[in-house]
Amino acid sequence: MDFINLLDTYLRARFTLIILITHEEERALSAVLSACNTTQRLCLSWDIADHFQWVSDGSFPIPVGRDPLTALEQMEKIDLPHPVVFILKDFHDLWGNPSIRRKLRTLSQRFRYSRKTLVIITPSSKIPPELKDEAVVLDYPLPDSHELAQVLTRMTQSAGVKVSLTPLGQEKLIQAALGLTASQAQRAFARAIIQDGVLDDRAIDLVTEEKRQMIRESEALEFFPANETMEDVGGLNALKEWLRLRETAFTQKAREYGLPAPKGIALIGIPGTGKSLTAKMIAGSWKLPLLRLDVGALFGSLVGESEERTRRALQLAHTIAPCILWIDEMEKALAHGGLDSGTSTRVFGSILTWMQEKTSPVFVVATANDISSLPPELLRRGRFDEIFFLDLPSRKERAEIFSVHLKKRRRIPEDYDLDLLATHSDGFVGAEIEQAVIDAMYIGFNDHEREFTTEDILFALKRQVPLSVSQRETVQYLRSWLNEGRAISASGIILEPSEAETKGIHLS
């Protein structure tokens, strides 16, 4: 209804050229017709196959115009006693014709003195430069929960459809369908009915799978299963406590209290310290969908393709909200390139503006290893609620990490000397600790499949060259960034002097 009211306002304000960007032509036609009925306007459509057709109840003769240029000329000549809206379908395919572009521009100017409006429904956001000043461009939103509930109701009221959904199950099913078009949701509901013979709570997983497939087709977004919890991540106590305080921030009670939805966090630090795992842990702990934005996949070879992919990906995240949007290794794609005719700058600017202005509950988790490549405006306040630095794990955190990975391999941590392992893994990151446990399992398995021991893990540690040694200069640079006060330690602790000395850090 908000969109229909907006469209109604534009019609009454005599906007003469309106471009609706959507893949859902049927829904868009219905919205335009509703707005026309509100203002008592006639509605006439044209396309290259069926030519002129009345969309509203028209008792007037149908004009004749088989080719697009003749059709536009007929629209100018039509003289009706009521205001009229002309809906043009698939007209983006004709924008390569300079005569069509010129005629559209002429009509948009002449219609200001009449009661006529052109509405172009197109799936493409590429607008000819000649029309950008003449047209108002609107993104037609995907169906909200109310519309999806109506789609579900229409299907369940059909004869022979068995429904065994609790009110909570129906709410979760509709929530799972957010982000789908009305047609995609209808197909997913129908598939669930045909496959199971009844519409019940099993349909939620099926609709979620349908959405995962649809998100994959968006090219730049990937739907990640989020099964990790805070127990699956060792250390990072300060970050975990920060997240616990915001776990219920997306609820209606939080809105009533006056709390805004959290914007997101940036996770900066040493490779292998668990930044990607933390993104999955947040989604798993908060029970929210996790979308990974592959920023590299945003860039296309055609003019305007990168901006279109960016717009579509961010709009999809907005529709699925509340959700977690994970921007992994953002420095690789958001660093200024300068060799792509400004495309990377425009994509980067679109993402920054969206992060600053978004009002939907999309929690952004951005990770980065190389902070020197990041433009300073990315990390300023307002785009992120907090910036956390993931450091080399302390002795206590290393013991927790060993415990996590031993449990993950169905072993009892108490059977191992965690203190000894933590002592001998000074300077190792979480990924290296995990690899040491895996290497120890290979040792035990190849030794007559015996149970691997603490000594096996110690042997595996000795064979590794940790990142803190092989890339000492990089690690020291990253840690100096933390010491300058540019971020908060995700661990919330001060390293012990003995550890700090071995890592080349001088504590004040």
270 and 333 inside one domain: yes
C-alpha torsion 343→344→345→349, nearest 10: 110
Q: Where in the sequence is the domain holding 453, given as residue range(s)?
A: 395-469
Would you say residue 154 lies in a domain?
A: yes
Instruction: Please say if the pLDDT value at position 492 is more than 90.
Output: no
119 and 266 inside one domain: no
More confident residue, 254 or 251: 254
Where does the pLDDT of residue 379 fall: very low under 50, low under 70, confident under 90, or very high at 90 and above? confident
What's the confidence (pLDDT) of residue 415? 94
Average pLDDT over residues 476-501: 68
Average pLDDT over residues 438-455: 95
Domain count, the chain: 4
Instruction: Please say if the pLDDT value at position 315 is more than 70.
Output: yes
CATH number, domain of 103, equals 3.40.50.300
Instruction: Please say if the pLDDT value at position 450 is more than 70.
Output: yes
Instruction: Please say if the pLDDT value at position 497 is more than 60.
Output: no
Residue 431 CA to residue 350 CA, distance in Å, equals: 33
260 and 355 inside one domain: yes
Instruction: Please say if the pLDDT value at position 228 is more than 50.
Output: yes
Where does the pLDDT of residue 504 fall: very low under 50, low under 70, confident under 90, or very high at 90 and above? very low
Mean pLDDT of the chain: 84
282 and 181 inside one domain: no
Where does the pLDDT of residue 456 fall: very low under 50, low under 70, confident under 90, or very high at 90 and above? very high
**pTM assigned to the model:** 0.70
Boundary-marking domain end, from 358, 390, 422: 390
Is it true that the peptide bond before 322 is cis, omega within 30 degrees of 0?
yes
Average pLDDT over residues 255-277: 87
Q: Which of 160-174, 251-265, 274-288, 398-412 has the lowest mean pLDDT?
A: 160-174
Residue 229 CA to residue 280 CA, distance in Å, equals: 8
Q: Which of 57-71, 74-88, 297-311 has the lowest mean pLDDT?
A: 297-311
Instruction: Please say if the pLDDT value at position 102 is more than 60.
Output: yes
Average pLDDT over residues 415-434: 93
176 and 59 inside one domain: no
Q: Which long-range contacts (CB under 8 A, 24 or more apart) does 126-131 make?
A: 126/92, 126/95, 126/304, 126/308, 127/19, 128/95, 128/101, 130/101, 130/102, 130/105, 131/17, 131/19, 131/101, 131/104, 131/105
Would you say residue 499 lies in a domain?
A: no
Instruction: Please say if the pLDDT value at position 453 is more than 50.
Output: yes
What's the confidence (pLDDT) of residue 505? 40
Would you say residue 69 lies in a domain?
A: yes
Q: Is the CB of residue 375 less than 8 Å from the CB of residue 336?
A: yes
What's the confidence (pLDDT) of residue 499? 47
Instruction: Please say if the pLDDT value at position 365 is more than 50.
Output: yes
Boundary-marking domain end, from 139, 173, 204: 139
- Residues of the chain with pLDDT > 70: what percent? 93
135 and 35 inside one domain: yes
437 and 294 inside one domain: no
